[in-house]
Amino acid sequence: MMTQAEAKEFASRWLPAWTGNRPKELSAFYADDAYFLDPGRPLGIEGKEHLFAYFTKVASNNPTWVWSLVEAIPIEEGFLGKLSASIPVGDKNVECVGLCFLQFNDEGKIKRNEIYFDRTELIREINKYRQSFAH
């Protein structure tokens, strides 16, 4: 079982890879047969090749968002993380809190990653930002 200190150490390397439009660096944390699910892909994605394509799109759309670990709770083969995100939309930052489920294979690569957070405010701000250009 992963300790809380190990989970925090992993998150200190993994979460920064979500910022800065670095899908190759982010993909390196995942196993070849990884499974990933988030609000943008509620049916999930299987395999590192498909993850790289998804990460490329998500990272290019959100190059300056910042994800932070609030709390790590060890579970079998990984940890459950409470995450905080600061997501720029126009001149505003949307703050989100979510849960992240991570399990690792024997090589220390992520084999399962599920992220859950409420996107209501984020979608509302994106729509307001887009409408400001429509007028």
What pLDDT is stored for residue 129 in this prediction? 86
Structural domain harbouring 40: 4-134
Total domains in the fold of the chain: 1
pTM confidence score: 0.89
- What CATH number is attached to the domain comprising 64? 3.10.450.50
Burial profile 121-135: b = 16 or more Cβ within 10 angstroms, e = fewer: ebeebbeeeeeeeee
C-alpha to C-alpha distances, 112 to 10, 20, 93, 120, 129, nearest whole angstrom: 15, 23, 29, 25, 34
pLDDT in tens, 31-53: 999 999 999 899 999 999 999 99
